[in-house]
């Protein structure tokens, strides 16, 4: 059930928004973070309708027209982001439009309204950006730089090893319990987006790092029950996503890396290095838990680089001019 903070009654369509968020959670099984994200985006849209388009608080979805949606998107396109003074990205604009579109599809399905003002709207065009990733040498440097002399160091090394070995999302990592860690073998079942289960593999370094961490936890009398969090903070509670982001930034700074990685950077590194090693995109898609093959197409950037280098090395006239 979404919290009341997501559905304050200070903007139009608040009752319909409550029903929509409950549908996402109870019927579609979306994660708490996904529901909150939809709530934030739609609250912003409805607040815009109230403040900039003079919508009354009791206005229903049927009052919203195509021009209201386009005005909102134009407003977002000209609005400056709080950080860095940059305009909102095309990806952000498309996410907002997607949230509005999904809300109206819900309203139509449940007979709340009979028209979709987003039906013929197209998203903003944007250039594909290559993912930020570490080189193999940088991953190794990061891992080696984390001291294994105390529980925090053993934990942080285990986290980095686990993220890089499996390609897990940070949300998937923090939800792991000790019982999810395989006592035998190298396979681990994880629950990803939309409650979809998939299999990931733990390499020997990751298995060893997690095992070392858990042994130290037991020695220090921390809880290690089947349903205990796999990774804990200093107080014994489950680590948050934000805590892992901060830890990675601190450890990368200490290691002197050229870029400060995020958990998602390690996920990108995992996929990039698989492609570099010859894995096909279908395999990468399955391991990452992506629903569409097109989502992983971006990782071919590295295989193309390898192909070019092999061409330059092999072709007799690729590098030298004929005299």
Q: Which of 116, 97, 111, 17 is nearest to 25 (CA)?
A: 17
* In contact, 174 and 231? CB cutoff 8 Å: yes
What residues are labeled active site?
A: 169, 193, 264, 267, 290, 299
* Tokens representing residue 308 in the block: 């070019």
Per DSSP, the residues of 190-220 read EE-GGG-EEEEE--HHHHHHHHHHHHHHHHT
Q: Which of 203, 209, 207, 210 is nearest to 277 (CA)?
A: 203
Give the dihedral of Cα atoms 114, 119, 120, 125; nearest 10 deg: 160
Chain centroid to Cα 184, Å, comes to 29
Q: Which of 77, 75, 100 is nearest to 88 (CA)?
A: 77
Core vs surface per residue 87-105: b (16+ CB within 10 A) or e: ebeeebbbebbebbbbbbe
């Amino acid at each position: 059930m979404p919290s009341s903070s997501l559905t304050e009654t200070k903007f139009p369509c608040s009752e319909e928004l409550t029903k929509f968020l409950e549908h996402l959670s109870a019927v579609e099984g979306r994660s708490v973070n996904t529901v909150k994200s939809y709530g934030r985006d739609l609250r912003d849209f409805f607040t815009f309708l109230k403040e900039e388009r003079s919508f009354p608080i009791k206005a229903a979805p049927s009052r919203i027209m195509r021009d209201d949606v386009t005005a909102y998107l134009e407003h977002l396109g000209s609005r400056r982001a709080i950080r860095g003074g940059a305009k909102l990205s095309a990806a952000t604009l498309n996410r907002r439009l997607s949230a509005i579109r999904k809300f109206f599809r819900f309203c139509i399905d449940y007979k709340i309204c009979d028209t979709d003002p987003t039906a013929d709207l197209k998203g903003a065009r944007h250039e594909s950006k290559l993912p930020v990733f570490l080189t193999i040498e940088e991953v190794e440097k990061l891992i080696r730089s984390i001291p294994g002399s105390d529980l925090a160091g053993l934990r942080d090394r285990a986290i980095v090893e686990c993220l890089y070995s499996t390609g897990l999302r940070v949300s998937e990592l923090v939800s792991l319990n000790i019982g999810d860690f395989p006592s035998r073998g190298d396979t681990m079942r994880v629950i990803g987006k939309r409650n979809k289960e998939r299999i990931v593999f733990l390499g020997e370094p990751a298995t060893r790092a997690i095992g070392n961490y858990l042994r130290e936890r037991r020695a220090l009398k921390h809880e290690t029950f089947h349903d205990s969090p796999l990774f804990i903070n200093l107080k014994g509670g489950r680590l948050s996503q934000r805590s892992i982001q901060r830890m990675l930034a601190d450890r990368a700074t200490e290691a002197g890396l050229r870029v400060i990685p995020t958990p998602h950077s390690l996920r990108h590194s995992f996929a990039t290095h698989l492609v570099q090693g010859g894995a096909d995109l279908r395999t990468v898609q399955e391991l990452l838990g992506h629903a569409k093959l097109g989502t992983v197409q971006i990782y071919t950037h590295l295989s193309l680089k390898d192909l070019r280098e092999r061409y330059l090395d092999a072709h007799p006239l690729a590098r030298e001019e004929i005299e």
